[in-house]
């Protein structure tokens, strides 16, 4: 996840050269480089759970799961970023033939944090929607049981559904995987959900 720590303006080539030698990852948007914040323990557990569940279900199938070390470029906008989990089906298209920047993700999963939640839902999703290959986008809360699932429709619109209970499951249509919410939050200690919190606040 990127924090808004603005640097000077750079070309994509300058960003990639800097990124090759940098000790930490950064995101590139509109000529600016933004340092990626370190992830919390719960964040890393959730991302690992999601990646592990999808990787297991995709064994023997022409889809590959990547963790947040796989850089993704949104070609139409020029953004470079590191999603928490990426799935690509079929042949991976890579920038300039190198093996470090993916151009055609099928599914992207981001684990939300307080500092980047609005960005992941808003501006970042606006970039992601420009990817012709992207079929589904998932946003996973790390402070409550809550997953937002966006699916691209035939007319280009995105349909939202939500899961708020541990016994819920999400069917990721593009890769025909069933993501059990209990598995997403396994070992996090999170037992509450947004609906419970809303009801408590209303009393």
- Domains of the chain from N-terminus onward: 39-202 (3.90.1570.10)
Least confident of 20-24, 99-103, 198-202: 198-202
CA-based radius of gyration for the chain: 17
- H/E stretch holding 164 reads none
Q: What confidence tens digit (pLDDT) does each residue in 101-143 have? A: 999 999 999 999 888 899 999 999 999 999 999 999 999 999 9
32-63 pLDDT, tens digit each: 999 988 789 999 999 999 999 999 999 999 99
Strand residue runs (E) in the chain: 26-29, 32-35, 63-66, 71-74, 79-81, 85-89, 101-102, 107-111, 136-140, 147-152, 158-163, 169-172, 177-180
- Answer yes or no: pTM beyond 0.75: yes
* Residue 21 pLDDT class (50, 70, 90 cuts): confident
CA angle 29, 48, 182 (to 5 degrees): 120
CB 101 within 8 A of CB 73: yes
What is the average pLDDT score of the chain?
A: 90
């Amino acid at each position: 996840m990127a924090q808004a720590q603005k640097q000077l303006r750079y070309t994509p080539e300058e960003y990639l050269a800097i990124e090759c030698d940098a000790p930490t990852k950064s995101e590139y948007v509109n000529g600016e480089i933004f340092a990626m914040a370190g992830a919390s323990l719960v964040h890393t557990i959730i991302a690992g759970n999601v990646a592990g569940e999808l990787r297991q279900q995709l064994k023997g199938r022409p889809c590959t799961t990547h963790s947040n070390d796989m850089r993704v470029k949104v070609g139409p906008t020029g953004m470079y970023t590191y999603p928490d989990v990426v799935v690509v089906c079929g042949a991976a298209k890579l920038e300039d033939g190198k093996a470090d920047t993916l151009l055609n993700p099928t599914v992207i999963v981001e684990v939300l944090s307080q500092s980047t939640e609005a960005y992941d839902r808003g501006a970042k999703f606006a970039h992601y929607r420009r990817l012709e290959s992207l079929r589904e986008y998932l946003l996973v809360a790390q402070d409550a049981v809550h997953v937002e699932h966006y699916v691209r429709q035939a007319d280009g619109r995105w349909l939202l559904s939500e899961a708020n209970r541990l016994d819920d499951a999400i069917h990721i249509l593009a890769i025909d995987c069933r993501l059990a919410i209990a598995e997403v939050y396994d070992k996090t200690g999170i037992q509450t959900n947004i609906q419970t919190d809303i009801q408590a606040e209303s009393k």
